[in-house]
Chain A
Amino acid sequence: MNTALNLSSSPHARDKWTTAFIMRVVLLALLPATVIGVINAGLHALLVVLVSVASAVLSEFAFDKLCHRPDTWKDCSAAVTGLLLALSLSPSVPLHLPLLGSMFAILVCKCCFGGLGKNFINPALAGRCFLLISFGSAMSSFQVDATTSATPVALLMTGEQVDITKMFFGFTNGVIGSSAAALLVGGLALWAMDIIHGEICFSVLGMFTLVIGLFGGQGFNLQFLMANLFGGGVIMGAFFMATDYVTSPVTKLGQMVYGMLIGLLGGIFRLYGGTADSFSYCVITGNLFVPLIDTYIVAKPYAYRRFQLIKQSSIAGEPLFKRIPRPVIVLTVIALVSGLALSGVYAMTKDTIEDQKRAAQAASFLVVCPEADHFETDPAIDKAIADLNGGVYGSGFGRVTINEGFAALDAGGSTVGHALSVTTADGFDGNITLAVGIGADGAVNGISFTELNETPGMGMRVDESEFKDQFSGKAVSRFTLNKAGGSTAEDEIDSVSGASTTSGAVVNAVNAALDFYRTVVKGEN
């Protein structure tokens, strides 16, 4: 024994896994989604991926060199950041976006905070949000087969139907990594290998589903839930973004709280938020809570935990009573209480809302029949409405329903006209309800809106007199919409510019009211 022996503290055995190994496995897990994305979107998507990864790795390399720090690009964590960023970009973005995004992610969010393990928000998501803010239009233009259209989630948020199978496999408009199936395969593999924490991804997904199910207005409808889960980066966020080691808590309990927080925010943003990109912001918000969670949610050693059972006899199975962590109970209770409170408030205010609606209706009838002193029910109208049974009225008017109708009487008791309330479901943002006043001569007195939720500055402008007054005093059988404007003909209505959908829906509703008036009140056919 003449060689020097090494001395060190025990243990003298180490596991095979290294940082670089874990990062490589994560890269592999992202491969299926990348491949499907590139097949789906074409060569440009591949370029986006390559530029993003190369930019991330080179940024880290350059930073380490310039700042005389040990080389860290070899641990592959920069490559993971680059790939994650690329997968959350539209395949049609110009190539300077992934370049800048990766540079921002690595240099600003990672290196400036001390490199691997020190960044406080997920660099890939930070890079994505940086691009969203800086290059909004390029970031939200999604092109597949040279046609631009909205992403499934954008459609879903406006209440449209989407094709879930296509979404699941990723053959829709969206980011490069939009294949929920491929991401699920990768994510579940990582979970099975114990690389990502199930506590995080499953509490994100669970809480998100719960919120969507409770408050989404469609209950736990599988179709609806899946459409929400498979789009908008939820799977990517839950399995690959939220589970980022550096920006998630280290304790199991903390991870559950963190996951549920992200799921809760994700659900709320999806239901009530204005953008389809909200999940990135949810995860980042969750990241910001991590130092707080790690400071306060500290698990006690087993010996100090409650429910410590001293078994009297020989070994039985594990205790049946598994501990439910307190934060889980607390959050569940909060979710239930707020859900109940919301529905309670609705139930309590329902009648008041109805009363107010009726008052508004009465007021609007007066507006459209200014000569009237009071209104009386008309048996013919009531019968016709009862016959319709809430269904769509006539054909050629879109989805129009007739709510109610009254005869307008002057102080002397003679009929001066009729007032009808109609609703069209063809508005840009939900229902439009309006009152239409028709004089005894069959000409339109005027219209007045009682329910209008259109886009401010655009569809909302149908409520301005410039548009509304076009109907007044005209006795035509049917109005037509002139999208170009500058109408001269009696039956033409100029569209509010930029809001032809809303304008068209209103014109159709008025036409329906006129048709109803002629058929039911006048008995024409």
Chain B
Amino acid sequence: MVKNTFRGGVHPLGHKELSREAPLCEFLPTGDMVFPLSQHIGKPARCIVKKGDGVLVGQRIAEADGFVSSHIVCSCSGKVKAIEKRRTLTGSSMDCIVVENDGLFTPAEGFGVRENPDNITNEDILQRVQDAGIVGLGGAGFPTHVKLRPKNPDAIRYVIANGAECEPYLTCNDQLMRVKSDAIVEGLELILRLFPGAEGVIAIEDNKPVAIAAMKQAASGKKHIRVLPLKTKYPQGGERSLIRVIAGVDFPISRLPADVGCIVDNVGTIYAIQRAVLYREPLFSHCFTLTGEAVRNPGNYIVRDGTSFAELLESSGGLKDGVTAKKALAGGPMMGIAMSSLDVPIQKQNNGLTLLAEDPNEQAQAQMTACLRCGRCTTVCPVGLLPQLMADAAIDGNYERYEKKLRGLECIQCGSCTYICPAKRPLMQILKQAKSEITARKRAEAGGKK
């Protein structure tokens, strides 16, 4: 069998066995819920409640500010306790709505009853996705209603349901595809109605045979939908990797997937779309993996937005005895953000908490040597960049070469180069700094011209 994959990439240890077989279960928090006003790419939402207001599950508490923005929905019932700056997972403070949870989870009116899909128009689909406050649940948090309105809907050739889950440790999409396969296929069909020329492709890494079988079962008999097993390799689930495999194109970072005729949505997002369109259910919960060597009971959960990471960990049984967590990651080890404290809220696009007993970066620092120029970073780069030369240029401050000759801004920051580097150099960190430096310079230049 020809393995479906992209060029480059790495094979980090999966560690998925920790939580792979743990069934999805709903987690209902008891503590205060915190809703940051910006959980998406675009402008932060505008708060529409006041301190002391009573709120219900599914009630909109902040409204999208403009087209590229998203609504924030309350995930519990109770009373607005405060609207204040709170620390979020990146470590910075942000305006948040804090809700005192009454523990009853009383739902608001107007959702939960299934409607007949035939009575729903295409415009309804788009409107309901927007009303539900759905953003990309794969991690980036791009507002989905924007993605579903490309300039030229007829040119879309593929709608890709991303079930690759290439990030090590995370397993919640695997579980979601096992139990909600019919709903995901239904969601994909709803999206396909918007793009008459498109084919639906459900892409899953071949380390999830049960999910592949379940999705194949659910998609059988659907003419425009197929399930595509992919080689297990990081970053297989990156949208550019998927498009490389499915549409056979690489495209510059300045272009969107829609420009090459593709729409890529995480399976979790597609499930949320199905709930939003058929049940008018806004997005207030999503699947989530709690895992890592330091965790006593790794598992997969449906968590409510706004739940504290700390509360979820404590309720699940906390850490293993005698083990201290060296590192707490929102997400998995390849793309995840290291958190300084767990006392921060889970946001819409967070799909996991990984607690590592050992910090590989700490070990790497001890083993760091000068660059060998071995070229491994070049071999693994899924974009075809030359991270070693880019890092050299960045360190020299030669941003001209970095941007023009090496095209360093094409970097998707997947971290493969850093992962593979035998000299253990923090390549990605250097590349990230170079990118923000160049962006800052450009902004300053543009400002100067005005």
Contact = CB atoms under 8 A, between A and B. Distances in A.
Interface of A: 1, 3, 5-15, 17-22, 72, 75, 114-118, 194, 197, 245-246, 248, 250-252, 255, 294, 298-305, 308-311, 314-315, 317
Nearest to A311: B248
Q: What 8 A-B pairs come out closest when comparing CB atoms?
A: A11-B415, A311-B248, A302-B384, A302-B250, A117-B370, A303-B250, A12-B333, A13-B333
Given A19-B423, A22-B422, A300 B428 contact: no
Contacts of B325: 1, 3, 5
Residue among B7, B364, B373 with most chain A CB within 10 A: B373
A55 to B, nearest CB: 22
A194 B259 CA distance: 36
By secondary structure, the B interface counts as loop
Nearest to A290: B373
A310 B247 CA distance: 7
Q: Determine which residue in A7, A14, A116, A317 has the highest number of CB atoms from chain B within 10 A of its CB, and name it.
A: A14
A304 B356 CA distance: 39
Nearest to A4: B340
B249 A310 contact: yes
Interface stretch (B38-46, B127-135, B403-411, B442-450): B403-411
A117 B371 CA distance: 6
Contact of A19 (B333, B361, B372): B372
B248 A309 contact: yes
B428 A5 contact: no
B224 to A, nearest CB: 12
Interface string B310-340: 1001000001000011111100011111111
A504 to B, nearest CB: 56
A24 to B, nearest CB: 12
Interface stretch (B115-123, B176-184, B213-221, B385-393): B385-393
A6 B324 CA distance: 12
B349 interface: no
Given A12-B360, A308-B250, A197 B338 contact: no
A6 to B, nearest CB: 5
B407 A300 contact: yes
A58 to B, nearest CB: 19
Interface residues of B, number: 81
B2 A301 contact: no
Contacts of B367: 18-20
Contacts of B172: none
Contact of B13 (A13, A117, A304): A13
B407 A301 contact: yes
A12 B428 contact: no
20 contacts: A3-B324, A5-B327, A6-B327, A10-B337, A11-B334, A12-B338, A12-B356, A13-B419, A19-B367, A19-B424, A194-B379, A245-B373, A251-B375, A299-B378, A300-B407, A308-B249, A314-B226, A315-B228, A315-B246, A317-B2
B432 to A, nearest CB: 7
Nearest to A9: B429
Nearest to A310: B249
A75 B251 CA distance: 40
B275 to A, nearest CB: 30
B252 A303 contact: yes
B325 to A, nearest CB: 7
B248 A302 contact: no
A72 B333 contact: no
Contact of B428 (A11, A250, A305, A310): A11
Contacts of B340: 5, 7
B369 interface: yes
Contacts of A75: 369
A6 B370 CA distance: 24
Contacts of B310: 1
Contact of A15 (B228, B405, B419): B419
A165 to B, nearest CB: 36
B372 A245 contact: yes
A246 B422 contact: no
Contacts of A252: 378
Contact of B339 (A5, A9, A250): A5
